[in-house]
Amino acid sequence: MGKSKKRSRASNARLNPLNGAGRSNARDSSLVTNKLQPLLKNLESAIPNERAMALASISVLCEDPQMRKLLLKQKLIHIMLSRLLSDDNTDIIVESYGLLRNLSLEEGYDVSIHLWRSEIWSSISQGFDKLIESLKALQKNEQQGEKNDKIPTESRRLLFDYADNLISLVVALSNGSDDILNEILGEDKLNCVFRVVTSLLQYGIDKLPIAVLNTILDLIYDLSSESFCFIEKISNDAFLSNFIKGLPDMMNKKTFNELSKVLIQGIYLQFLDADITYDQANSIIISVCGSIENIDLEQVEANLSSNANDDELVKTQDSKVAEKIKDYTKARTGAMMKLQSIEIAIDIMTAIIEIVASLYEDGKKKIPQTLQGTLTQFLPLIFEGLGPKFASRILIAWNNLLWLYLSLGINFFDLPGEIYKSLWTYVNALPDTDIDLKLGKLSVIWALLKTISFDSDFEKWLQQFNLSNNSDFLHSVIKNYNADMSNEDLSKEDTFELGQRYCGVFSTYALFKGQIETNRIVGQFILEQLLSQDVPQGLQTEFTNSLFEIYGDGNFDYDKPVFVSGRFLEIIEKQVIPNLKSRFKFVDKNKEPQLKSKCNECISTLDSFVQYKRNE
């Protein structure tokens, strides 16, 4: 259900996803230290204005990944938790929560888990209590007949900025760690969240700033994307369940922006879930795309360009600089909202594709012509248009769509416009700069290879993609695999996920007839992985399954020249099985019961495979 990936990881640069690289000007580390130390010192100044200015400067610097890491190393979070969250200046408290939210989003697990272990929830909970009290006071003043313009504008701004930052920090933390998410979904903490969300909504949906309403919608969308339990608990809350039911009717509110509309559709999807129909799935896709169709990405990118803004500021009169900065901040905020709208829209489309596949596989009910048209004509064009700026997300969407085509019996190569050519060119042109792009590229390559294998004229398509007996392609993939598997910066989970994708690519490519030499390369490579002392045990079970798939039938044209002539059976009996048995002993059944079961099953199947091949 829901999002295919947590946004904190899928988004390369949450504060500016369009800016793939860091700032262009190189910074000398000693100069950076000299610049940062005075700012950090000023965070603890006795003068509120100095603290506020230092915090504002640090918030801007944290948008740069390099500067952010340096500030974190200098114990920025400790200073904020121990000093700023209890500051006498409300503005500083509000902005501090906003910065912590950004840090959690940008750095993901490490910062999120550090904040959680530092009891950030206690501060959030107290913040929620203060927020509810302030909201009651505001309501009381309004009910007593005071006009909105008599209530200080700054007080209202601070109140709703406080609400925005606190709630969005909860979302960021839940995205950072599954353990944190599970704790937030616990009864006490979730009731605390429900209480503040209910108070804000009861204050008046039309009276809330759109940014706050969007943050509430984002919280509901995010948590419902991750947990059936959350959906059940909201459905059992009388007020919130009625709010959810009424959301589709609010789609055309003039005060709602692109993000509001996309989030409403996302929430609608989550709460429909297994009850969704093909027509509803098609309607949500069209509606989501309609919500973002007027976004001008070039203008968004311009509004996010710090270089362009800096150039303009240099030319601006001193008396107008403050106003200019205010305009830039407003434009930047709007641009970030639009980017988030597109990101979530892609996530929703990706999820719907997966849901449609599940519906079809469960019931084998024929796909209506309207939905089929959307899947084969509309979505490919949408993905093409968004691909250059949102590569990691679009790759996941393409992967899901290609596998759905296979399930539905739709030949991707027969679609109008020869879109397969542009997709192959697009995938191969993408850099291998981060884990999400690598995972996405391998997933799409695997799906395309599988699509070729399903075509009766597979030789034609292998030639079309320049993959016919292409040992250079294989050696390139093997080289990338070796580099990724030895990359110590990758987490255990990322290494395994990458390994799975590589395994899928290798095994699918090796199965083609008439490619004996490439099959030999793959077969020998798989044996090397099974004889390794370094390949993770879980990945070795995956490679073993590939071995079964490739060499399970002696009638394949490559079996005799590769498996038999290469004495694979002897290697498996005398070297592979003893090595795997030895390595699998180190898997603790108490700590990793599922992996232990997989390992035991692997050895059992491998013994049967050897017996089968011996008698074949």
Which DSSP state fits 85?
Answer: G
Q: What would the DSSP string read from start to end of 43-101?
A: TT-SSHHHHHHHHHHHHHHTTSHHHHHHHHHTTHHHHHHHTGGG-S-HHHHHHHHHHHH
SS3 44: coil
Rounded Cα distance between 181 and 307, Å, is 37
Q: Which residues contact 293 (CB under 8 A, 6 or more apart)?
A: none
Hey, where are the domains in the chain?
472-616
Backbone angles phi and psi of 47, in degrees to 5: -95, 115
Rounded Cα distance between 167 and 345, Å, is 21
pLDDT value for 475: 97
Residues present in the chain in total: 616
| Residue numbers of the chain with a pLDDT score lower than 50 | 1-17, 20-28
Please state, in angstroms and as integers, the Cα–Cα distance from residue 332 to each residue in 35, 98, 329, 338, 342, following that order.
25, 16, 5, 10, 15
Rounded Cα distance between 294 and 108, Å, is 31
Nearest CA to 599 among 613, 589, 610? 589
What is the enclosing helix (H) or strand (E) of 186? none
Rounded Cα distance between 127 and 520, Å, is 63
Rounded Cα distance between 206 and 132, Å, is 18
State the Cα angle at 585 between 582 and 591, rounded to 5°: 150
Nearest CA to 167 among 107, 115, 98, 224? 98
Q: Which residues contact 86 (CB under 8 A, 6 or more apart)?
A: 93
Nearest CA to 577 among 546, 558, 605, 539? 605
Token duo for residue 32: 């950076």
Rounded Cα distance between 490 and 221, Å, is 29
Please state, in angstroms and as integers, the Cα–Cα distance from residue 463 to each residue in 273, 460, 466, 468, following that order.
41, 5, 5, 5
Asked if 414 and 421 count as a contact pair (C-beta separation under 8 A), the reply is: no
- What pTM value is reported for the model? 0.88
Burial of 9 (C-beta count, 10 Å sphere; 0-12/13-18/19+): middle
- Please name the residue ranges forming H helices in 236-376: 238-246, 258-272, 278-292, 297-304, 306-315, 321-363, 369-373
Q: Which residues contact 377 (CB under 8 A, 6 or more apart)?
A: 415, 416
The percent of the chain in helix, strand and coil, each rounded to the nearest 5, is: 75, 0, 25
E strands of 206-365, at which residues? none
Rounded Cα distance between 456 and 471, Å, is 23
Please state, in angstroms and as integers, the Cα–Cα distance from residue 431 to each residue in 18, 270, 398, following that order.
15, 33, 17
pLDDT value for 592: 95
Tell whether the torsion through CA atoms of 68, 72, 73 and 74 is positive or negative: positive
Which DSSP state fits 4?
Answer: S
Backbone angles phi and psi of 348, in degrees to 5: -65, -45
What torsion do the CA atoms of 429, 435, 438, 442 make, to the nearest 10 degrees?
-160
Look at the block and give the residue holding tokens 């709703």: 160
SS3 588: coil
End-to-end CA distance of the chain: 44
Asked if 257 and 210 count as a contact pair (C-beta separation under 8 A), the reply is: yes
Asked if 173 and 184 count as a contact pair (C-beta separation under 8 A), the reply is: yes
Q: List, for residues 281-294, the tens digit of each pLDDT value.
A: 999 999 999 999 99
SS3 477: helix
Rounded Cα distance between 18 and 301, Å, is 7
Rounded Cα distance between 501 and 452, Å, is 17
Rounded Cα distance between 201 and 611, Å, is 67
Our measurement of the distance from residue 109's CA atom to the centroid of its chain's CA atoms, rounded to an integer in Å, reads 13
Please state, in angstroms and as integers, the Cα–Cα distance from residue 344 to each residue in 3, 5, 43, 259, following that order.
8, 11, 35, 8
